[in-house]
Structure 1
Amino acid sequence: MLTDAHHRIIDYVRLSVTDRCNLRCTYCMPEQMRFVKSSALLTDEEIVTLLQTLARAGISKVRITGGEPFLRPGLMQLLAEIKAIPGIREIAITTNGVLTHQHIPGLQALGITHINLSLDTLQPQRFRQITRRDQFATVMQSLESLLAHQMKVKINVVVMDNVNTDELVSFAALTRDQPISVRFIEEMPFNGQGHTFSGINWNYEKILNTLREQHTLHKLPDAPHATALQYCIPGHQGNIGVIPAYSRTFCGTCNRLRISATGSIKTCLYGNDVLNVKDLIRSGEAILPAIRQALHQRAVNGFEAERLHTSALESMSVIGG
């Protein structure tokens, strides 16, 4: 098993398959984004080799992210190859929904049912302001199709002061008649725009208190290693999660490793890149010893990792969602 410096078992990888995105969400990336060349990305063969190696070391869950993962050519074939790796028990995908609709039957055929849909507003005009693109109807079509195909859907809502905080109750209402998990996420400083991030006004406690003004929230047990505090509204089919992504209350149980589309590894979202597995693969060097060494130098939590961070904070689309 992979373990870190603080004896935490690492069994979950978040793997970005592209830095490209067809939206330009203001909290995630600049409007004008410079993407890397295709030759700089991990190839399908390199991804499969990497995940085979990690699976032998105990990695059992893989989340595919981007950018927008469905922009990667041949993604469905790559997913099929990942699905066939012994030891990989769950594949999940985080998507913005623009291209998702056409792939839902194929995902279902592969047994990939866990989909996180990034959706920060239920208002078409506001969607355009946040994403700088006019794709609201397409995303909603994907959401409806995911539910019709009985996929396990989580809606990720980044809570932004003076942007969408008036919609928290509307999002919570989605859980009434559908088995959806709506997850409210504290805003983070990874917008890739270089300006200082001075903190947030809407932390997880304020989000919960706002929801409690309209609804009774019943606390649910949190799964091991969960980043979200789980609640339900009595009588609703779905549930609500609140993720303290900036407050970082969940760091003590973190079981994740992040790998970017270019092969850079982060042992913490708030930390530096610690090595590049693409370079190791292409030079014929062993992957696992380098990853184990990096994990044994892992910061205790996101606050320590941020203090040790020596470069400018990247765009979330570069990090990998």
Structure 2
Amino acid sequence: MPNAQLTDNFGRPITYLRLAVTDRCNLRCFYCMPEEGINYLPKKELLTYEEMERLISVTSELGIKKVRITGGEPFVRRDMITFLEQLSKIPLLDELHVTTNGVFTAAYIEQLKAINISSVNLSLDTLDPDRFLAITRRDEFNKVMRTFNLLLEAGIPLKLNMVVMDGKNIEDILPMAELTRDLPVSVRFIEEMPFNGTGTYKALKWDHARILSTLKETYPDISKMEDPKNSTASHYKIPGASGNIGIIAAYTRTFCGSCNRIRVTSQGVLKTCLYDRGALDIKSLLRSSTSDEALKAELIRAINSRHKDGWAAEASRKDKKNHESMSTIGG
């Protein structure tokens, strides 16, 4: 199957894989999991580094060019930096990215720079230490800000992810946007999603339109930028700013028509959409005698049964209440 490529049943090429390496996290962000945490998977239920490296190597032969490592929090898993170093050597992989909460990341920044990491997405929902504690339920603000500053000093491309939450961090929208004025960062405002591990979700009050309207009140000259192909974010720029602003309609799902990404959860389940229940048990295939070519065939079959968009994927679920945690799915 040397020329086979991952293209879904709607003709969309799949070139981007988000891989969760663990469901464990050292924070307890209320929009991701309950305060008591979630029932973490036993280690044997997680994909091993060898299994994940094989998966990425195989999918790169099917056209995956970009991989993002997520969690949980990737750096709570031992030897994560060694795993990233191995991934950086896969010849057909063009981009390797990491999403992190930044608590443990500072110790690895020089090694990330050495492997030429494509970018780091840093989860940062507020610039206020007290609100940080309220949102994450952990007093780790100073460690995250140290990581932020060290990433900038190292010159590693940096994106800040802020989930916009009514009554929690609305005061931070403008201060976060202001960071882009003098710093070469991309600040991304993300709609809150229903993956908090509790099965409850309040109606979305801050959608992408309201976030943009709020920004325009302070920055009436904010300009729309050209979005990269397949981007989930709509990009904007304050006149003269060093960085840029992105708004991600993660719940409204306005970008589904050009979606080029798939996810693999920490337990080895392929999700062709964030909102589906899983399309393929990759872990079982990796732990059987399945050859690389047979694995490719199964991946192609799953991609060719993809839902048109996130709304269709959500409607297909038998469980209408969502009890998943974003930490389990992969951020």
TM-score band, normalised by the shorter chain? over 0.9
Partner of 2:305: 297
| 1:199 Cα deviation after fit | 2.6
Distance in 2 separating the partners of 1:297 and 1:255: 14
Distance in 1 separating the partners of 2:228 and 2:19: 21
Contact preservation (8 Å) 2:176, 2:187 = yes
Alignment of 1:241-280 (within 5 A): 241-280=246-285
Q: TM-score, normalised by structure 1?
A: 0.98
Counterpart amino acid of residue 138 in structure 2: R
Q: Which runs of 5+ in 1 are unaligned?
A: none
Partner of 1:221: 226
Distance in 1 separating the partners of 2:118 and 2:229: 20
Distance in 1 separating the partners of 2:249 and 2:41: 31
Equivalent residue of 2:246, what SS?
A: strand
| 1:113 Cα deviation after fit | 3.9
Note if 1:12 corresponds to 2:16: yes
Selected match of 2:210 from 206, 212, 215 = 206
Equivalent residue of 1:194, what SS?
A: coil
Moved more, 224-233 or 197-206: 197-206
Counterpart amino acid of residue 220 in structure 1: M
| 1:289 Cα deviation after fit | 1.4
Contact preservation (8 Å) 1:190, 1:315 = yes
Q: TM-score, normalised by structure 2?
A: 0.95
Partner of 1:118: 123
- Residues 18-71 of structure 1 deviation map (CA, whole Å, 9 limit, x = unaligned): 100000000011122210111111111111111111011111100000000011
Distance in 1 separating the partners of 2:227 and 2:177: 18
Alignment of 1:143-162 (within 5 A): 143-162=148-167
Partner of 1:194: 199
Equivalent residue of 2:327, what SS?
A: helix
Contact preservation (8 Å) 1:62, 1:91 = yes
Q: Which runs of 5+ in 2 are unaligned?
A: none
Selected match of 2:26 from 19, 22, 25 = 22
Aligned residue pairs, count: 320
Partner of 1:168: 173
- Residues 154-200 of structure 1 deviation map (CA, whole Å, 9 limit, x = unaligned): 000000011111211111000111001000000000001122x2430
Note if 1:31 corresponds to 2:35: yes
Equivalent residue of 2:218, what SS?
A: coil
Distance in 1 separating the partners of 2:311 and 2:212: 23
Contact preservation (8 Å) 2:95, 2:118 = no
| 1:102 Cα deviation after fit | 0.6
Superposition CA RMSD, Å: 0.9
Partner of 2:240: 235
